[in-house]
Amino acid sequence: MPISREEKLRRKREAEKRRYDRMKQDPEEREKLRQKERDQYSKKKEKKIIRPISQLNEREKRAKRKEWRQTSKTYRQKRKQTQIQNEFLEQNTPPASPLSVENINEVHQVTPQSISGKRLAARNRKVRSRRSKEREKMILKLRKDVARYKGKYYRLKKKTKQKNRRFDQPSPKTRVGDMIGGNQTPEIAKKLLFAEAVSDQLKTNYEQLRGDKDKRFFRQILSGPIIKKYRMKQDLQKIVKGSKLTKSSTSVQNRSAMERCKKINAIWKFLESDLNSKMCPGKKDYCSRNGKIKQKRYLNDTMFNLHKIFLKKHPNIPVSYAFWCKNRPFHIVSKKVSSRDTCSCMVCLNMTLLIGTLSRLNVIKENNSNSVISSFCCENRTEKCLLRDCPECENKNIQFEDQNRCEMSFFYKWCSQKHTYFDNKTRKQKTVVKITKQKCLCSISKIVEEFESNIIKYLKHKGRAYHQYKIISELKKDLKTNEALIHMDFSENYNLKYAEEIQAFHFGGSRQQISLHTVVMYTNAGGKLKKECYCTLSECLNHNVPGIWAHLDPILKSLMERYPIIDTLHFVSDSPATQYRNKTMFFFLAVELSNLFPTIRKFSWNYLEAGHGKGAPDGVGGVTKRTADRLVAQGHDIASFDTLVTALSQNIKGITYLTVDASDVKRISERLDNKKMPIFKGTMKVHQVKKDLSQKAFPKLLFYSLSSLDEDDHTYLLGSKVYESANPLSPEEASDASSDEDLPLIRYSSTGTEIPNRKLNFNDVYSDDEEAGTSTDKTESILHNIKNGTFLLVQLKTKKVSYRYVAVAQNEIEEDGEVRVMFLKVCELNSKQVFKPNERDISYVTFDDILNVLPTPSMIFHDNKLFYEFNMGVDVFEK
């Protein structure tokens, strides 16, 4: 028969026990065993598995000392128990009989008398045991009889007392004694006695009242929700006789209450539907009523119109408009203009609109963006899942329901649109680009295609936003003593105000604006993160690179004076190309920053994802403008720059206010005038810029698609740029130079004539900055004419020569500002009108390299080959 597992373990334990016993009996083996135990204890102390009490925190010290007390108590109890046992054995053990030497070796002999004596002793023990058990049974029986007769006596005594006091009112103590009977518990008896005494006192006071008004007031004091909750109204009725504390609850009233509850529930259910109200996503968007907290919802229509819809949907539930408004849920409110979201991300909002449309059409089960992201990512969502680098979920997709996709429907989309108007001043037609929310009519299949074509871009967009926020948080957490983090943003320009204004001033153009640049600076002060808030104010409204560094200059000088040990700066900002992310800013970081601040050895500039740049500096700007408006509302005139600065400095102590003069901006601008500034292709993809310390001869910048804290981590490296020379441009180059925008310097028309002041302001439309707006220059709409099949004049620069080619766009401009093109080769060098497409020459070009949008040429077929012929010559310069 095989041995069971339990038997094997038992034998193993016994064998191990025997082995330990042998080791303990051998002095050498015992010493080895003790040394081994000491070594194990030392290793545990080194690994801090066992820590001395001096290294524990206060809570762990209390737990350890409690454990010691319990162990000592157990040890003392065991010793005491052993001592008691030893003393008992010593007292009850008879002394040993003295034995002679001769009797020691005698062998005890068994005799018949001894056997008979043992039998007699055993019989006597049985008799005693039987008698003892009979005695115990008798005692138990007698105790039961005593208890029975005692209860009978108590009941007879109680009955006799009741007969004797038939005509007397019992006292509270007597009533309490009758209630608890023989179970005399002091605490319960005292509580009952208090209740009976209060009841008698209330009854006495009520009987002494004379007027009905006083009695009514007395009843109102006694009745309340607690009495109703514990169903004590009938008991209270015995105290105040002749009164009615409860309303009559007839069947009619019950039926009316049920109908009322049914109507209210129907109103709540109707208004809480997603078709009639919208849930607020913010963590501060909630309402509380009577301790009940509900997330706030905004009505999609007026209460009057929703009442009409309700009556049509529920014709069997008659509800008046007054009852409808009175029973509106407290957490469903009408949306105010001031509470709408005006800084939403275009990518996120367009995807939310698409998801809402597909959910409304029952094409997908998910009804919000978070649910859609969960369908594409792992259960424990990570950054790699959003960036589509996770091997487990990169092939996951959303499940579409079976629907007739040929049906027509619609969806809303935010997009740019051209508008042409006639300028009465210049007597010319101008084209501007405006952002509008359009209603797109198409089939359901087209909506699904729109969703599939944009969902990956949306996930990567969310992944980049999440990554940048995470890196900035880690940077704050691990900030060193020689580092500082500067988070900045331009706030909306503040309009100076008077407490009272005349109509001509209020509606005219006399109001002055002040530029606000807010900064939150983080430093490591003694191992703790220290935060300082700054706001620089200027009458100069320039938000370009010279303006930015003019605002940062006094803050950095103050930082270097107070913390001379700091040699590393980390800048954080949003990513508008008109302000922070352009070739001029890159040039300033590489060349001019070390000239202005020689002690700065390293730096990094981290850009937040477009549309997700809100942070602490926005709070500084909000506090500043709210305080200024409050002072105006209190009757103070803030009509000048100096008055604003003085008022803010006196009323806000947590923010340091500094002024920037227009001459400071001009001084920085002069340092950048007529400087050669190389362009980094892929600027729209850059989210971090670092200085390469290995480059000694010339300053070198490293550009990354995502931020990284490790200096040796080049996972997201896009490329680098060496700024070999900062010499001024030649007079011919300086005449066409532009240091304000990261855009081409020279633009030529098809006839070769120069077009002045031509800029492709892509970020005027797609920037997340408050200052981005629409352009009034017709050439600024060139970028938005680029579609699949648009012919372009493109420039490709080398170190010495700039070439110009004709290309045809193969898609619209992408989110990062690049477009896929196929290049054409000129066939007639003299006329430069006929071009041949080269299908193997396909590449991506940035919007900086697009010189012009060409008219659509005519197609020519010769020897089964396709050629394009323009109406006039194109100014190309091919290699």
| 579 pLDDT more than 70 | yes
Better pLDDT: 497 or 779: 497
Confidence of residue 253 (pLDDT cuts 50, 70, 90): low
**% of residues, the chain, pLDDT over 70:** 85
pLDDT attached to residue 264: 93
Question: What is the predicted pLDDT for the residue at 559?
Answer: 92
Residue 495 has pLDDT above 70, yes or no: yes
Contact indicator for 699, 691 with CB cutoff of 8 Å = yes
Coil vs helix vs strand at 539: coil
Task: Reply yes or no on whether the pLDDT at 759 is more than 50.
Answer: no
Q: Work out the pLDDT band at 246, boundaries 50, 70, 90.
A: very low
787 pLDDT tier (thresholds 50, 70, 90): confident
Mean pLDDT of 767-790: 52
Query: Residue 686's pLDDT is what?
Result: 92
- Beta bridge partners, 391, equal none
Report the share of the chain in percent with pLDDT over 90: 22
549 pLDDT above the threshold of 90? yes
pTM of the entire predicted model: 0.52
Question: Which tens digits make up the pLDDT trace of 385-423?
Answer: 988 888 888 888 888 888 778 888 899 999 888 888 887
The count of other CB atoms within 10 Å of the CB of residue 123 is 10
Please write the tens of the pLDDT for every residue from 634-672.
888 998 999 999 999 999 988 999 999 999 999 999 888
Predicted pLDDT of residue 165: 60
The structure tokens listed for 266 are 């129907």
Q: Is the pLDDT of residue 197 over 80?
A: yes
Average pLDDT over residues 576-603: 89
Mean of pLDDT over the chain = 82
Q: What average pLDDT does this structure show over 95-122?
A: 68
- Asked if the model's pLDDT at residue 248 lies above 80, the reply is no
With cut-offs at 50, 70 and 90, classify the pLDDT of residue 182.
low
Whether 94 has a pLDDT exceeding 80, the answer reads no
Q: What is the mean pLDDT of residues 63-73?
A: 94
pLDDT reading at 121 higher than 70: yes
Report the range of poorest mean pLDDT among 23-32, 423-432, 752-761. 752-761
Kindly give the pairing relationship between strand 483-495 and strand 791-797: unpaired
Q: Which residues pair with 410 in a beta bridge?
A: 441
**DSSP secondary structure code for residue 696 in this structure:** -
Q: What local confidence, expressed as pLDDT, does residue 89 receive?
A: 83
pLDDT at position 783 is 54
Would you say 707 and 468 are in contact if contact means Cβ atoms under 8 Å apart?
Answer: yes
Tell me what pLDDT residue 755 has: 36
- 3-state secondary structure (DSSP) of residue 82: helix
Q: DSSP class of residue 799?
A: S
Cα-trace Rg, the chain? 46
Q: Which residues make Cβ contacts (< 8 Å) with residue 198, sequence separation at least 6?
A: none
Gap between the Cα atoms of 205 and 214, Å rounded: 11
**pLDDT at residue 752 above 50?**
no
> What is the C-alpha separation between 461 and 371, in angstroms, rounded?
16
Q: Is the pLDDT of residue 308 over 60?
A: yes
CB 517 within 8 A of CB 490: yes
- Work out the angle at residue 224's Cα, subtended by the Cα atoms of residues 219 and 227, and round it to the nearest 5 degrees: 100
Lowest mean pLDDT among 412-416, 743-747, 775-779: 743-747
> Is 70 exceeded by the pLDDT of residue 741?
no
pLDDT of amino acid 762: 40
Mean of the pLDDT values across residues 500-514? 80
For residue 810, CA distances in Å to 39, 300, 449, 835, 867 come to 74, 41, 18, 17, 17
101 has pLDDT over 70: no
> Confidence class of residue 239 from pLDDT cuts 50, 70 and 90?
confident
Give residue 424's pLDDT band: very low, low, confident or very high (50, 70, 90).
confident
- Bridge-based pairing state of the strands 602-607 and 297-299: unpaired
> Is CATH 1.10.3470 what the domain over 746-869 is classified as, yes or no?
no
Please state the rounded mean pLDDT for residues 295-316.
86
